[in-house]
Structure 1
Amino acid sequence: MTRATTALELRSVLSTGSAGAAKDWIPLDVTAHVKTRYAGDRIATIGLAQGAGGNAVILSSRTAGSTQPFLEVITD
């Protein structure tokens, strides 16, 4: 596994979500992107960005126990 040493350029919006005042999961559907990449080189890169204004979005790390982010893969 390799890690990027610089930030990747975000090219297009795949999905959007809204953060409310309460802590909650925000589902983002990236199915079309992942299917396209799976048919190609089988590597899908997904970045998260927050627009100006609104509520702050806090992301937990993978070591955060019960609040760690996850990718749910649903197959047909």
Structure 2
Amino acid sequence: MTTFELFFDLVYVFTLTQVTIYMAHAHSGMGVVESLLLLALAWFSWSAYAWLGNQAAAPTTGPRSTRCPPAVERSSG
């Protein structure tokens, strides 16, 4: 998972919390319908983004791979 994907996941979590807060304060039938529509749109956009992220491979070379080089064992001899 890249930091870009993590950022968008956090954006969607924030979106879901805001919509559920809106749903908790909308005590009418129309407010619930609006909230369900917003949840459906957020779910659709998140699932489309997740599908696109699975289709396009993240780069495996570059600065991220050099941040944590693998440990090298030394022989004691």
Higher Rg: 2
TM-score under structure 2 normalisation?
0.24
Superposition TM-score, scaled by structure 1 size? 0.24
Structure with higher helix content? 2
With a CA cutoff of 8 Å and minimum separation of 6, indicate the structure with the bigger relative contact order: 2
